[in-house]
Amino acid sequence: SQQGEEDPQALSIQEGENATMNCSYKTSINNLQWYRQNSGRGLVHLILIRSNEREKHSGRLRVTLDTSKKSSSLLITASRAADTASYFCARRATQGGSEKLVFGKGTKLTVNP
Amino acid sequence: DAGITQSPRHKVTETGTPVTLRCHQTENHRYMYWYRQDPGHGLRLIHYSYGVKDTDKGEVSDGYSVSRSKTEDFLLTLESATSSQTSVYFCAISESGGGREPQHFGDGTRLSIL
C-alpha cells in the first residue's frame, strides 16, 4: 500500500498527558503532512515537514521525521479535552502516473478530562 | 478557515438515482479535489481538477464524474447511485498540486443510498 500507516489506531489518555502518534511509509517522500479531524468536520492541516527536515514545532505540537526508518511521529504535549480528534498523516505518492497526496487511516485520540 | 462550502451537507437517496454534490470555494485556488471517507479505508481520492475544464481521475473514480466550469465550483456526480457509494464526501482545495502544499477541506457531505 502507498498509504501512510498510523499507529496506534486508537489512543486514550488523561488531560495533561502527552500523546504520541506514529506514521510509517514504504517509499521515499519529499514531504509528509499531518492533519486533524474533529468529529463531523473536515480535515484541518497541522504541520508539513519536508524530507530534509528532522523536526518541526507548532505550539504544543512537535513532528519528527526519520527518513532512514521511513517514519514520522506527532507529539501533542499537555493534552486537552479539545485535542480529542482523529489524526492523519499524508504523503506525496505516485498514483496513475502523477503525484498525489495519499492519506493514512488515522489515529483516533481521546483525551479524558 | 478556508472558504469552502459543500452542499448539500446531508442527503438520502435511492439506488439508481442521479446525485450531484457541489463544492464552492472563495480562495481562487487552482486545484480542487473530491475524496470519500469510509471506515477502514481512510480518505481516498475520487477525482481532482487542476483548472477550469481540466480534471483527472483518482484512486476510486469508477461510478463518478466531475465537472469544473468555473474556478470556484467543482461538481461531483453519481450518474446512477449504488449502495456502495454510501459515504462521507469531502472537497478539498490547494494552491498547487502533487501534494506539495497543504490541502484545505470542506466539512463534508454525508450521503446515504438506500
Tens-place pLDDT, residues B5-51: 999 999 999 999 999 999 999 999 999 999 999 988 889 999 999 99
C-alpha distances in Å from residue A109, one per residue of A72, B39, B42:
17, 16, 15
**Calpha distance A26→B65 (Å, rounded):** 31
Q: Tell me, yes or no, if B108 comes closer than 8 A to chain A by beta carbon.
A: yes
Amino acid, single-letter form, for residue A36: R
Q: Which of B43, B56, B103 sits opposite A45 (nearest CB)?
A: B103
Show the cell assigned to A50.
519536508
Contact A45 B59 (CB under 8 A): no
pLDDT value, residue A7: 87
Give the up-direction half-sphere exposure of residue B93: CA atoms within 13 A in the CB hemisphere: 23
**Calpha distance B31→B68 (Å, rounded):** 11
**Calpha distance A40→B73 (Å, rounded):** 23
Q: Which of B98, B101, B104 sits opposite A100 (nearest CB)?
A: B98
Q: How far is A36 from chain B (nearest CA, A)?
A: 11
Contacts of B41 in chain A (CB under 8 A): 105
Contact A93 B90 (CB under 8 A): no
pLDDT value, residue A4: 59
Check: CATH 3.30.70.20 for A5-112?
A: no
pLDDT value, residue A2: 46
Q: Of the given ranges (A21-25, A83-87, A94-98), which has the lowest mean pLDDT? A: A94-98
Q: How does strand B19-25 pair with strand B64-70?
A: unpaired
Q: For A57-86, what is each residue's pLDDT tens digit?
A: 999 999 999 999 999 999 999 999 999 999
- Neighbouring residues of A68: CB distance < 8 A, sequence distance ≥ 6: none
pLDDT value, residue A1: 42
8 Å CB contact between A38 and A85 = yes
pLDDT value, residue A6: 85
Contacts of B43 in chain A (CB under 8 A): 43, 88, 103
pLDDT value, residue A24: 94
Q: Interface of chain A against chain B, CB under 8 Å?
A: 3, 30-31, 33, 40-45, 48, 88, 90-93, 95-96, 98-106
Q: For B49-101, what is each residue's pLDDT tens digit?
A: 999 999 999 989 999 999 999 999 999 999 999 999 999 999 999 998 888 89
**Contacting B residues, span 4-43, partner chain A, CB-CB under 8 Å:** 4, 40-43
pLDDT category at B2 given cuts 50, 70, 90 is low
Mutant choice from B10, B43, B49 vs A, greatest count of A C-beta within 10 A: B43
| B1 has a pLDDT exceeding 70 | no
Every domain of chain B and the residues it spans: 4-98+105-113
| A94 has a pLDDT exceeding 80 | no
Show the cell assigned to B13.
437517496
Answer CATH for B4-98+105-113 from 3.30.470.20, 2.30.30.140, 1.10.40.30, 2.60.40.10:
2.60.40.10
Average pLDDT value for residue range A22-32: 89
Show the cell assigned to B107.
466539512
